[in-house]
A and B are shown apart, each in its own frame.
Chain A
Amino acid sequence: MADVTITVDGKKITAPAGSLLIEVCKSAGIEIPAFCYYPGLSLQAACRMCVVRQEKVPKLQTACTTQIAEGQVFFTDTPEVIQARKATLQMLLGNHPLDCPVCDAGGECELQDMTFKYGAADSFYAEPKNHREEQKWSPVVYFDRPRCILCYRCVRTCSEGMDVFALAVENRGSSSTIVPNVPAKLTPDNLAHLDCEQCGMCIDVCPVGALTSGTYRYKTRPWEMNHVATVCTHCGDGCKTTLGVRSTADGSEIVRGDNRDKSGINSDFLCNKGRYAFDFANSSERITQPLVRQPNGELKAVSWEEALTCVGKKFAELRDTRGGKTIGVIGGNRLTNEEAYLLQKFARSVLHTNNIDHHRTADYVAFAQSLAGTTGRAASLRETLTAPAVLLVGGDPTNQSPATAWNLRSNVRLNGARLYIANTAEIKLRRQASAFLQVAEYGYGALAAFLAGDDSAANIAAPDSAALASFRDAIRSEESLLVLIGNDLRGAELKRLIDFGLTIPGTKFALLADYANSRGAADMGLLPDMLPGYTPIGPIDTQDPSSRIALEYRSPTTPGLDLLEIFEAAETGNLSAFYVVGSNPIARYAVDPATLKNTFVVVQEMFLTETAAIADVVLPAANLYEKSGSVTNSYGDLQQVKKAGDRAGVRSDFETIVRIADKMGADVRKLVPFGPVSNAGGTRADMGQTRGAQSGEADRHAVWLTANNLEPRLSPFDPSAILDEIQRLVPGYEILRLQLLSGNDQHLSPAAAPIRDNAGLVQISNRRDLVLPAGDTLFTSGSLGRYSAILNDLRQFRPRQSLIQIDVQTASD
């Protein structure tokens, strides 16, 4: 809309006509307080805090609902306005318990801040306060009714934002109260409960302490924690989660996860896993001492030195006697990029093997190769919030990538985006879809063919051919399209869909995977046939820039064994050593542990998983919340990971890999190019960045360096040294360092070399199970999820089936 000029407190402000006054003022640096107003949600005008005086208008106006027009004059700070706000506060405090000293929100409470600002300490309301007991609506959502100021934010975020409709207001006037969707009289325990996705968004938006989180309540105060903004370890969306940490006797404990400053790629959103499922880090089941299997078959706790010496000696011996080709390496989906890169470099240059893979949850090789030679075709997560038209094929973002689902819902609601969904299942997002196409089982390949114009594929693609045809017409009429692809599509099917999409100009793509760094693991070359950046392994040609990595590594020039072939090699006795870093392939691929009985197995793990249980050496590992580095989400958005928690006894996978290389007699400086670039001396000490924020002077120095965007890079355990190398060697990883260190996301496109003539999507087409989607839901997260007590709690917490309406019923209007 055309710009208009208004005057606020004597200041001229120009903004588009029809903008909300509260937002216009915010952009101009004029604060107008509000409890009920929340950007992106519908307008309520319930709290009356945002009142302002408008010239020539008899009554005070609510800034949250006032749309601006040319020449309007407003006053936001007159004694009259201040008095009105004070009176509003007095009324809100009329029945508010003022239990700030024990309330979770104390210290970060909007009502407390406003009371402080407007000084509404005395009140004309002399009636006794009406106390109500707190209610436990679910293991994670508690409600303290007297604290509620009825701003309706929770009700709106649950209905409009989450499309769950689990909260509503009952009764009228001063008896009004927020209620959950399962009323007390229908439950066996006679208490009201929530039947919902347990995302905790209601707690997040609550301006007071009426809704509090089961994992955090009454544990600490906001100012007693350090707040570390890092990336969630669970799904592939890579949301920023801020972890509140506190010192304990054996490290530092994570007390809270939330979306504190909303500065991340996920903006307003955080799901239940990012918010609550950090508790695995504090689990008492964690391994905190290296374990080495003794001749009698038992795992015995030993010192790090002993364990590392054992691993180093054995690895070197097996490499030298039986050859690198008999060693297999599996990396994890939750390692940082630096760790994944280091692991494959270690495997290739120290172990001399290309037998390296990871549990692939999406076919990024095919994705990158299909996009080879194009530019600007890979989408960022941010685009799911702005794209005018989105095609979602396969997948179930509501369960598997909740932030994507949130963005799609918001995009449809706020921008009127058109969402086209093709799925074999009736996924929940269909409620926002302009068109939903039921795809026949195994019909995605045929669907891609049909979309591309092959009409003969119609009867395999979908049961309803008329719907199929109109679906194709609708998609083809779009000028630009964001294509989101679920990980149930892989290999040739995936390529066919992308090839079709590439025929529409302006189409962008994203492939959704399952874990925090699934994309990074593939990008960093945890693959038997690809070096980092999807550089195919082949004969070295010194003139060819794509041979640069191989030249530096001096690694084998023939592709290695993939994950499934590694286990086949073990069966035939051709696997001498098996090195697993942060993965549980034994359980995931249902491998018979007996196949590895003659193999030397080393596992870096947090818990005694099925894979760790059969290991000869188990090395206790730090998790993603206890290390620094970077991760790349499903979309290719690179973000910084910061160390939050700490556990005595464990080490980051980065450090452990370096130490094993050292014990094998490798030149560590070649593996991790640390130290000053000139290599002319300088400090070599570990400045503490591997040990966290409570370890003394050296750490403070490192913290200071980091805060000033200077990188210590002084130790072989410093991931930023490897990041330098990634930046230098990996195609597609032209990183803006400042952007990364500022905690911002940056989008990277895969830069695969174009497919050579007779090479191509070999493995996936004949070995579909090599890409194995994890199929996680909101309440599971691979092997890690099993060690999160709260996720298990939530999974078991379900109201009686007959009461569940969320899954089955559509909401009206």
Chain B
Amino acid sequence: MSTIANSIFSPELAARFDKLVTLYPVKRSALVPMLLYAQDEVGYVSEAVIQEVAQRLDLFDLDVRSVLSYYSMLRTKPAGKYNVQVCTNISCMLRGGYEILDHCKKKLGIENKQTTPDGQFSLEEVECIGDCCSAPAMQVNYEFHDELTPDKVDEILDQYAAGKILDSTQKDGK
């Protein structure tokens, strides 16, 4: 049961948040995980999310915005169903990360931080995603793909388009 009346989140997530705030010495420590979970469910951090999260943690909306704007993995606009994040940080850059990024742009017909008109894909250039030893790498939602070549990228994106690869979060049935 949620402690917040008329929560915008699903009953499961609301219950999870109720528990989350009890896990830390100070409530506001739950802010970043809460925003991430909320983003997974809502698709992005909306005004409504900001307000409810602030309310749950006894913060001002301004505090939430402050943290939200700091982290690049938190977004305030909806992304595509598959959010393609291509790393161009040093290891990936040396192993052709920019080629991969350019290839994605061409293949999807969108620029960095844009979404395809059908809402299927969005593209983002990101900093290190921790897969340097198998660079170049990209992340689609929560799924890693590494040792990429343009051909391999085509294959991967086609499979997503065909609905053949399920996101790990979807696999869990969440």
Residue ranges of A at the interface with B (Cβ–Cβ < 8 Å): 165-172, 179, 181, 183, 185-186, 805, 809-813
B58: chain A residues at CB < 8 Å are 809-812
B3-37: which have CB < 8 Å to A?
26-28
Nearest B residue (CB) for A172: B70
Task: List the interface of chain B (C-beta within 8 A of A).
Answer: 26-28, 47, 57-63, 65-66, 69-70, 72
Contact A812 B59, CB 8 Å, known A171-B70, A172-B70, A186-B47: yes
Q: Which residue of B lies closest to A166 (CB)?
A: B62
Tell me if A812 and B26 are in contact (CB < 8 A): yes
A181-B62, A183-B65, A811-B59 given; name 8 further pairs at CB < 8 Å: A168-B65, A170-B65, A170-B70, A172-B72, A181-B61, A186-B47, A811-B58, A812-B27
Q: Which residue of B lies closest to A812 (CB)?
A: B58
For A812, the chain B residues whose CB sits under 8 A away are 26-28, 57-59, 63
CB of A809 within 8 A of CB of B60, answer yes
Residue of A165, A171, A805, A811 touching B69 (CB-CB under 8 A)? A171
Q: Which residues of B contact A186 (CB under 8 A)?
A: 47
Question: What residue in chain A is nearest B66 (Cβ atoms)?
Answer: A168
Closest-CB distance, A156 to chain B (whole angstroms): 13
Judge whether B65 and A805 touch: CB under 8 Å. no
Q: Which applies to chain B's interface (DSSP): helix, strand, loop or mixed? A: helix
A interface majority secondary structure: loop
What are the 6 tightest A-B residue pairs by CB atom distance, in nearest-first order? A170-B69, A168-B66, A181-B62, A812-B58, A168-B62, A171-B69
Which residues from chain B contact A810 at a C-beta distance below 8 Å? 58
Flag if B60 contacts A169 (CB, 8 Å). no
Most chain A CB within 10 A, of B27, B59, B69, is at B69
Q: Which residues of B contact A166 (CB under 8 A)?
A: 62
Can you list 8 A-B pairs, Cβ within 8 angstroms, ordered by A?
A: A168-B63, A169-B66, A171-B69, A172-B72, A181-B62, A810-B58, A812-B58, A813-B28
The answer to whether A813 and B62 touch (CB under 8 A), given A170-B69, A172-B69, A186-B47, is: no
In the bound complex, residues from chain B placing their C-beta under 8 Å from that of A811 are 58-60
Which chain A residue lies CB-closest to B26?
A813
Q: Which residue of A lies closest to B28 (CB)?
A: A812
Complex CA–CA separation, A252 to B94 (angstroms) = 69
Distance of A170 Cα from B65 Cα, bound (Å): 7
Contact check, B60 vs A165: say whether CB atoms are below 8 A apart.
yes
- B64's nearest neighbour on chain A, judged by CB, is A168
Give A810 to B58 CA distance when docked, in angstroms. Answer: 7
B65 lies within 8 A of A179 (CB):
yes
Nearest neighbor of A170 in chain B, beta-carbon distance: B69
Whole-angstrom distance between the Cβ of B124 and the nearest chain A Cβ:
16
B62 touches A179 (CB 8 A): yes
In the assembled complex, the Cα of A809 lies from the Cα of B58 at a distance in Å of: 8
Are B70 and A805 closer than 8 Å at their CB atoms?
no
Minimum distance in angstroms from A155 CB to a CB of chain B: 9
Chain A residues with Cβ below 8 Å from B62 are 165-168, 179, 181
Smallest Cβ-Cβ distance to A167: which chain B residue = B62
- Given the contacts A169-B66, A170-B69, A171-B70, A805 and B61 also touching, CB distance less than 8 Å: yes
CA distance A742 to B47 in the complex (A): 55
What is the bound-complex CA distance between A811 and B60, given in angstroms?
7
Select one of A170, A805, A813 contacting B60, CB under 8 A: A805
The interface residues of chain B lying within 8 Å CB-to-CB of A165 are 60, 62-63
B34 to chain A, nearest CB (A): 14
Q: Which residues of A contact B63 (CB under 8 A)?
A: 165, 168, 812
Question: What's the least CB distance linking B48 to chain A, in Å?
Answer: 12
Most buried by A among B28, B59, B60, B72: B60
Name the A residues within 8 Å of B69 (CB-CB): 170-172
Cα A183 to Cα B60 in complex, Å, equals 12
Cβ–Cβ < 8 Å partners of B59 in chain A: 811-812
B10 CB to closest chain A CB (Å) equals 25
Q: What residues of B have a CB within 8 angstroms of the CB of A185 in the complex?
A: 47
* Chain A residue at minimal CB-CB distance from B63: A168
Nearest CB in chain B to that of A168: its residue: B66
CA distance A306 to B93 in the complex (A): 91
Residue on B nearest A175 in the bound complex, by CB: B69
Q: Which residues of B contact A813 (CB under 8 A)?
A: 26, 28
